[in-house]
Structure 1
Amino acid sequence: MRKLIESTFVSLDGVIDDTTPSTASRAEPQHWGHPYWDEQHAAYSARLMAEADALLLGRVTFEAFARSWGSMDTPEAKPMNEMPKYVASRTLTEITTWNGTLIKGDVAEEVAKLKEQPGRHILKWGTGELDTTLVRHGLVDEFHFWYFPVIVGAGKHLFEGVGFDTTHLRLADVERFDSGIVVHIYVPK
């Protein structure tokens, strides 16, 4: 069975993103995380991508990544652009871009079916509404929380308002980068 790995950037105060226009310029990970993106960061990301052969994304992450990655024509962007992407959305009716496939029907059932297919890992970047379903149904096999040495002060927090029961995890590994990023790798208990 394939593993579903979730990977997300988190500030020290738990901020993952923001959609509020007044704070978005400082609360979006591409703003506060960028100073820490270096060769170690890139190598770890590349390793996660190399171990996967599919991406699972929510609509918001899919659209943002398609805008930024879809126009890149570099060796680093090639694996991301060519990899199949499965997209969960309550608002889209079809996807015709960036090698995306809309998940139709019950998301939990469809993701469980994807995990049963042969292949390498399924990688999910970002944490958002889709995680309510994934965690509630025990579908995430590993969480990679990239803690950045920054305090943002405003924004959406990790798993804020998701509404699932308390979920206990076990620390499986820790990766430390010279930039100060620490990736905590957790698995379900």
Structure 2
Amino acid sequence: MRKLIESTFVTIDGVFSSPERWGAPYWDEEHSSYATSLLGEADALLLGRETYEGFAATWPSRSGDDYADRINAMPKYVASRTLTGAETEWNATIIRGDIAERVAGLKREPGGNLLKFGTGELDHTLIEHGLVDELHLWVFPVIAGGGERLLDGLDITHFERLRTVEFASGLTVMVLGSK
């Protein structure tokens, strides 16, 4: 059975939006190595519509390094009620209907991990249905001062700390498992 791994960036004041504004000083070799390891253990991506559209506008033009080549080649499952035509673009399959049921089905298939990037409505569904096996919460030592906050509106949900990875830059990844 596959694991669903959520990988998301957040500031110390809980903001996840616009990481390009506050995250760049911490994107170094340690960050890259950890991200590459997560991607290497996965054989498919799970994305919401907004993350898919942002990634599809950027990643296909990148090539020549292992990370970009791998992310471009991987199948992508995209949860969306509105996206059309993406089924033939950038190795995407649109999943509609009961997203929790569809993702549970993907987890039952053989293969490597499903890696999910981006934070939003899809996360609420996945967490509420107990489908996230691990949450890799990249905590950046910066205050954004405003923006969308991570997982606002969810009911109390407990996780267990599996491990913590600290980088020289001050970035910390908390790896949390569902209880």
Please report the TM-score for the alignment, with normalisation by the length of structure 1.
0.91
Within-5 A mapping of 1:10-159: 10-17=10-17, 28-75=18-65, 76-95=67-86, 96-159=88-151
Determine the C-alpha separation between the residues in 2 that align with 1:10 and 1:104.
Answer: 28
Determine the C-alpha separation between the residues in 2 that align with 1:144 and 1:99.
Answer: 24
DSSP-derived class of the 1:46 partner:
helix
Residue 5 (str. 1) matches residue 5 (str. 2): yes
Determine the C-alpha separation between the residues in 2 that align with 1:94 and 1:115.
Answer: 25
- CA offset digits 1:3-37 (Å, max 9, x no partner): 000000000100000xxxxxxxxxx1012101110
Determine the C-alpha separation between the residues in 1 that align with 2:80 and 2:8.
Answer: 19
DSSP-derived class of the 2:102 partner:
helix
DSSP-derived class of the 1:65 partner:
helix
Question: 4+ residue stretches of structure 1 with deviation over 3 A?
Answer: none
Using the TM superposition, give the Cα deviation of residue 93 of structure 1 relative to its aligned residue in structure 2, in angstroms: 3.0
- When structure 1 is superposed on structure 2, of 8-17 and 68-77 the one drifting more is 68-77
% of aligned pairs identical? 57
Structure 1 unaligned spans of 5+: 18-27
Q: Is the 8 A contact 1:3 1:141 kept in 2?
A: yes
Q: Is the 8 A contact 1:10 1:145 kept in 2?
A: yes
Please report the TM-score for the alignment, with normalisation by the length of structure 2.
0.96
Determine the C-alpha separation between the residues in 2 that align with 1:104 and 1:141.
Answer: 22
The letter of the residue matching 1:108 is A
Determine the C-alpha separation between the residues in 2 that align with 1:149 and 1:132.
Answer: 25
Higher helix share: 2
The letter of the residue matching 1:125 is F
Determine the C-alpha separation between the residues in 1 that align with 2:3 and 2:99.
Answer: 16
DSSP-derived class of the 2:61 partner:
coil
The letter of the residue matching 1:13 is D
